[in-house]
Amino acid sequence: MALVLTLIAVLAAGVLAYVNQVTKGPIEANKQKTLAEGINSVLGGAQADVQKTDTLKDANENDVVIYVTNQGVAVKATDPNGFGGPLTVLVGFDEAGTIKGYTVLEHAETPGLGAKASFWFQEGQKGNIIGLNPGEKELTVSKDGGQVDAITASTITSRAFLRAVNSAFHAYVSAPASADAESGATAQQHAATPQTEVTDTIN
């Protein structure tokens, strides 16, 4: 019996390793395609060629990746404290640090609730952040005294989303790659405001 169980475990492990190897390539290719499409989207829809990347650590030691392109700068940032887990966004900025566009790359939020972050903060929507500059005022939900309407019944997700956007901005204005892009943001706009952690019991 022990031998049979051992053989089954070895075979199962072998099958899992094989499946992982076979699917690893396509999964990575799909992620790269999604990222490339996201960069084009947040920078206005034009074909953007990445010329340089830079990776920094935010206050919580999460990676923030800056993509300098021929169409502008896009930044990928993650907040680990979404309602369902980490939430990763890609944000495009103009030379003054104003948000040109965003897309949610990864999330584990509740369908119909927190998952609305993909469109809730887009231009023309209730929580619109397009055209705002986090350097002028840190983006926070109206429930915390900010200027952004949270997703209905998803305050935790909304806070995580805005923290990720703020992290993206702070990385954008402080990274060497951003300087190479000749950002025209003023010192006042570049001032980083310490992020505060606020807990909530309703999502």
The answer to whether residue 201 sits within a structural domain is: no
Residue 18 predicted with pLDDT over 60: yes
Higher pLDDT residue, 181 or 193? 181
Domain membership of residue 158 (yes or no) is yes
Cα 188 from chain centroid?
A: 24
| Rg from Cα positions in the chain | 20
Q: How confident is the model at residue 179 (pLDDT cuts 50, 70, 90)?
A: low
Q: With 70 as the cut, is the pLDDT of residue 62 above it?
A: yes
In the predicted structure, residue 181 carries a pLDDT above the cut 70: no
- What is the C-alpha separation between 178 and 74, in angstroms, rounded? 10
In-domain check, residue 37? yes
Angstrom distance (rounded) from CA 47 to CA 43: 9
User: Is residue 195 situated within a structural domain?
Assistant: no
Q: What is the DSSP string of 22-62?
A: HHHHHHHHHHHHHHHHHHHHHTTSS---EEEEEEEE-TTS-
Band of pLDDT at residue 14, cut at 50, 70 and 90: confident
SS3 at position 11: helix
Residue 74 belongs to a domain: yes
| Any domain includes 197 | no
Distance CA 9, CA 154 (A): 42
Q: Which domain holds residue 168?
A: 2-190
Residue 182 is assigned to a structural domain of this protein: yes
Q: Is pLDDT of 188 > 50?
A: no
**Between residues 101 and 60, which one has the greater pLDDT?**
101
Q: Taking residues 22-49, what's their average pLDDT?
A: 82
- The Cα 158–Cα 68 span in angstroms is 27
Band of the pLDDT at 176, cuts 50, 70, 90? low
Question: For the chain, how many structural domains are there in total?
Answer: 1
Does position 107 have pLDDT exceeding 90, yes or no?
A: yes
**Average model confidence (pLDDT) across the chain:** 85
Give tens-digit pLDDT for 131-169: 999 999 999 999 999 999 999 999 999 999 999 999 999
CA distances from 45 to 8, 48, 76, 90, 103 (A): 51, 8, 17, 14, 12
Half-sphere exposure at residue 126, Cβ-oriented, CA atoms within 13 angstroms: 10
Inside any domain, residue 198? no
